[in-house]
Amino acid sequence: MSGDGRFAVTVYAGSRTRARAEHLSLAAELGSAIAKRGWVLVYGGSNVGLMGACADAALRAGGRVEGVILDSFSRVAHHGLHVLDVVGDMRSRKAGLARRGDAFVALPGGFGTLEEVSEILVERQLRFHAKPLVLLNADGFWDPLLALFARMTEAELLAPEHAGVIRVVASVSGVLEAIEAAPGEPAPPSVSKW
């Protein structure tokens, strides 16, 4: 839950300033859609890249935005947020983002986005939570990762039931539908990791 008790969506996204225009537009569309639903946007606290585009759009749409950023990234911190927690290490940052989220969405991003998604995915696999995790796979951005999941499953290193705990959608409307369909969703199947 967010700081004000409303339903919150944690969005993981890239922060590179060289992000493609279509990805920036996608991030802005998602931020605006989250705000228009009355949900709180939680994200990494930056004012640049997809992160900044998502936050700016949510704020323009009248939404509440909360960020968690590393103190070493203070030069790119977004100072127009309702809440901005500045933390000293990545573990605290990821924990803050995870704790606030009632649902998780991954936009295109780099290593940081991949790490954050992986951590939430493993926590769901291990039944630490049953919160929805949605991969926004616009224009096939995440196809190589999905192919890796299929390869893991084929090699019997990943149970098919666990491969299915992440929702894959191609549009912002698909993200909203996946999140709205998820409340009351049971925890992942009780299939042994081993």
61 is a domain residue: yes
Domain housing 68 = 8-140+167-179
pLDDT score, position 70: 93
89 is a domain residue: yes
| Number of domains the chain contains | 1
Q: What is the pTM of this model?
A: 0.91
147 is a domain residue: no
Give per-residue pLDDT as tens, 79-132.
Answer: 999 999 999 999 999 999 999 999 999 999 999 999 999 999 999 988 898 899
pLDDT score, position 82: 96
156 is a domain residue: no
Percent of the chain's residues with pLDDT above 90: 79
The whole-angstrom separation of Cα 24 and Cα 28 is 6
pLDDT score, position 14: 94
CATH number reported for the structural domain that contains residue 86 in this entry: 3.40.50.450
* Residue type present at position 12: Y
31 is a domain residue: yes
Q: Could you tell me the strand order of the sheet in which 83-87 lies?
A: 83-87, 65-70, 40-43, 8-12, 103-106, 133-136, 167-169
| Biggest CA-to-CA distance, the chain | 47
Report the DSSP beta bridge partners of residue 46.
77
pLDDT score, position 3: 63
Give per-residue pLDDT as tens, 165-187.
Answer: 899 999 999 999 999 998 554 44
Mean pLDDT across the chain: 91
153 is a domain residue: no
pLDDT score, position 165: 86
38 is a domain residue: yes
91 is a domain residue: yes
Cβ(66)–Cβ(2) below 8 Å: yes
